[in-house]
A and B are shown apart, each in its own frame.
Chain A
Amino acid sequence: MKKLKYFLFSFIILFAFQSCAGSKNSQKATQHLKYNIVYGSGGGFTGVRTGKFIDSLGVVSKWEGITFSKAKRVKIDSLSQLQIKKINDYLIKNPLDIYTLNESGNSTVFLTLTNSKNETKFSWKENESSSKLPAKIKEFYQLLLDISKNN
């Protein structure tokens, strides 16, 4: 009987400790994007471009059309913490500011990353080969498309 009491006591202590630790975890600070991100594509015969802007809080805004002033962005979604982490992790692991890619053309794809220090801009032709497009930029662009494909 005495042994059973000790066992129950130990179990309660252990459970309480774990609960506290879990609570501490849940108070972890919200993660923000390291960059403001603008991406999209368009031009061509119509001049219509479609783009998205993700701010540091993960708020996604979209614009579309031929613009006559700074594009009017409409909020469409917010990224989850997991999605923000995925983007941050990719950019930490694969710094893109080492690349230069500034192609102009009738129809282009664009990607801009901005933080407090730098603005890194890429654009490339909507081309079947896009041989000048570094694989890491292509991969990151695809990651953005995948994350926002339902928007």
Chain B
Amino acid sequence: MKKTIYTFFFCLYSLTLIVASNGIKEGIIKVIPFKNNSQIGFENLQLNAKSNIEIVWNDNYAIPSFLTGNLTSPGFVHEQTMQRDIFSYLSANKELFGIVNPDKELELLSSYKDELGQTHAKFQQKINNVKIFKGQLIVHFQEDGKIIGVNGKYYPTLKFNDIPNITENEAMNLAKNFLQNYSLSNVQTELLLIERNLSFYLCYAVKVPSKFYPNMKVYVNAENGEIIYKDDGIRFDGPITGSGIDLKGQMRAVPLYILGHAYLINTTLPMYIPPVDSLKGIITVYDAKNDTSGNGYQSAELIYDPNGDGIFNDNENQKAAISAYLFVQDAYNFFKTNFNRNSYDDAGHSMINVVHYKQSYNNAFWNGASMTYGDGDNEQFSNLAGAYDVIVHELTHAVTERTANLIYENQPGALNESMSDCFASVADSSSWLIGEEVYTPSIANDALRNMLNPHNNAASQTTGWQPEHMNEFVMLQNTEEEDHGGVHVNSGIPNRAFALTAESLSRKKAGKIWYRALTTYLTNNSSFSDARNACINSAKDLYGDNSNEMNVVKNAFETVGITGTGNIQTIDLVYDDGNPTTYVYEESGNYELAVKFSIPSPNVTLTKCQIYISGEVKQGGNGGFSLVLIAQEMTGILTNI
């Protein structure tokens, strides 16, 4: 009975082993290592040795990974018969090293004699001419022919089925598909046995050389065609020159940085401070991936070349990145060459760009940390990363922030906007149009703004129109709804002053005068009048008192109605904080509407004040009525007393 029970459990155990051995994961091949008796082998070695032997074991296979000592007598290895003598030694110690036929399993890779007279012979392990990728062993012997060491990562003789399921051609095609648009030439394949985490894979190493990655290899599982891994062969980090297609469809040379992948990181400019991972003084681009969740930056990722060929032609999304990347490089050089400004902070701050912000986003902006560009909806705008003037405009916001820091409201805000347009028009001097390359792609020759003719062929106070003289100054409130007092509207007036100056002198000269004004004279609350005085004084500094340049600037400002004193001031009318306010609201079941405001400064008079409110009456759910405010308008002229 007892015997029967034992037999039953033995059968059950055997069955479990059989099931387990058949349950090998797909793609991993079954390998049977030679069962060496390392203990006996080591005892034999010690017996023959003339001194102590030190050994470090490879516990996975019970073979030595590092063996040192007087392993043989002198004269064992001769230079002329080195391989045969070493194989003879390994064969004699088969129980210890586990290598059954060294002459068939080892191939000499190299040997060299060092300054101590020791020779080091390195061997590659293989079975049936299939290279065991990670199997290498080095035998060390002295000048007198005594073997004094054996070390390496190798395996006891392995038995496995070396007939692959897929052909070399299939492996090449799989590698090609994996690398996508990679141009294949001089492709080579080699069948290998690879060990990863104690599992063995029969695979093809497909070598796919390219200009930037001469040693690119893709390892394809020869059993099931899966890609095991890719090795780009790059053993250094550093800058290279790659290429990429921009939004105009042109192939452009681009500076790249290899850091595992090939990234759009420009380290070639004077502002760069190594090491690259400190991210100092670089230009780089992130892809926001059109993510609309949260703040739009949730998925932003540094852009790199997915197939590693150094050519950014892999997908449409790369085009905006290439355009932004190169335009920002040009913008850096523009400020450096013309104004000796080293990045926007003049201290080599890195320039971070984000493309593909949100979806069909018709805008670009400086957010205090990065320049961000939308793709546009292709009706109002095409991709905003595709226009040099847009990029210089945004970069100038960063320059303004680090210099005069003009407050983004009312006249200082309009000056802030104007400065961005002015420097954009110096950098991109093809016309006086702003944003013409990306604005309404289906309509030719139009633009978002026109600096020389701010009316821009648009009806008064409609999109595209800007005032060109102070007598057209648009009084708007400092609210989001009214563009913070019309910062994108009234910028037309100083824009025209700049354009008139540049037409008379040159854009370069006008740029120098405005740059000096921005960086030397303007303060955060400067008005149009202050800008006039700043520009006149800059011209005087640069070209002399009563110089032609100074008079041109003075005339330009006078032409647009900006005088030295007594300009119209934009001052917020402050709504009374008490009850009621200007809004319709519910109070104890009643609806009330009132307008009440005060002028913030006693030194100001308000004339020609008009308040316009219209709305429609709606019946509320509880039987009451409410007036739904659909428009309110207030105009007036405030004059300093």
Contact = CB atoms under 8 A, between A and B. Distances in A.
Interface of A: 29-32, 36, 38, 40, 42-49, 51, 55-57, 59, 61, 63, 65-73, 75, 104-108, 110, 114-119, 123, 125-130, 142
Nearest to A128: B297
B482 A71 contact: yes
B480 A29 contact: no
B584 A45 contact: no
A130 B295 contact: yes
A29 B295 contact: no
A64 to B, nearest CB: 10
Contacts, number: 168
A72 B584 contact: no
A57 B580 CA distance: 18
B579 interface: yes
A31 B482 CA distance: 31
Nearest to B413: A104
B631 interface: yes
Contacts of A59: 618, 628
Contact of B487 (A47, A68, A114, A126): A47
Interface stretch (B119-127, B163-171, B366-374): B366-374
B480 A40 contact: yes
Max chain B C-beta neighbours (<10 A), residue from A105, A125, A126: A126
In this complex, which of A61, A65, A66 has the most chain B Cβ atoms within 10 angstroms of its Cβ?
A66
B409 A30 contact: no
Contacts of A116: 579-581, 585-587, 592
A68 B622 CA distance: 37
A interface: dominant SS:
loop
19 contacts: A29-B622, A32-B586, A36-B583, A36-B585, A43-B408, A44-B363, A45-B363, A45-B435, A47-B489, A55-B626, A63-B481, A66-B463, A69-B633, A70-B482, A70-B631, A114-B583, A119-B577, A127-B367, A130-B295
B367 A107 contact: yes
Contacts of B362: 46, 48
A45 B387 CA distance: 12
A35 B618 CA distance: 17
B367 A105 contact: yes
A130 B367 CA distance: 10
Contacts of B632: 70
Contacts of B384: 45
A118 B585 CA distance: 11
Interface string B297-317: 100100000000000000000
A127 B368 contact: yes
Interface stretch (B45-53, B209-217, B390-398, B511-519): B390-398
Nearest to A34: B586
Given A67-B482, A107-B365, A116-B580, 15 more contacts: A30-B621, A45-B364, A46-B363, A47-B489, A56-B591, A70-B634, A73-B630, A105-B366, A106-B367, A106-B408, A107-B363, A117-B579, A126-B295, A130-B295, A142-B294
| 3 shortest interchain CB distances as A-B pairs | A30-B621, A47-B488, A44-B365
A45 B365 contact: yes
Contacts of A73: 630-631
B186 to A, nearest CB: 44
Interface string B371-394: 010000000010010000010011
